[in-house]
């Protein structure tokens, strides 16, 4: 009998891709800065309330490249730190 693969405490079946979770946070050091995330199809994540987030915890349901767009309402340069965790 083969061991059942796990991601964290979740069992993964033989034909399943592990569903990943992510946590993002942006800390504004200078200026009004936020972000949005798009999936490989270009759609926003269901957990996003709007296109200008400063915190987000979401599930990544699709395989592929996700894009994080950082934006600001300022006309001058903004300084920020973006923290991304995928688990």
Expressed in angstroms, the distance from the first to the final Cα of the chain is: 27
**Cβ–Cβ contacts within 10 Å for residue 49, how many?**
8
Residue 73 has pLDDT above 90, yes or no: no
∠49-10-24 over CA atoms, to 5°? 30
How do residues 20-59 score in pLDDT, each as one tens digit? 788 888 888 888 899 999 999 999 988 887 788 999 999 8
pTM: 0.69
């Amino acid at each position: 009998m083969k061991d059942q693969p796990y991601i964290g405490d979740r069992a993964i079946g033989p034909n399943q891709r592990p569903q990943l979770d992510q946590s993002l946070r942006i800390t504004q050091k200078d200026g009004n800065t936020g972000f949005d995330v798009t999936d490989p199809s270009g759609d926003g994540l269901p957990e996003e309330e709007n296109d200008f987030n400063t915190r987000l915890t979401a599930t990544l349901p699709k395989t592929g490249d996700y894009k994080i767009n950082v934006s600001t309402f300022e006309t001058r340069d903004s300084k920020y730190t973006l923290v991304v965790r995928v688990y």
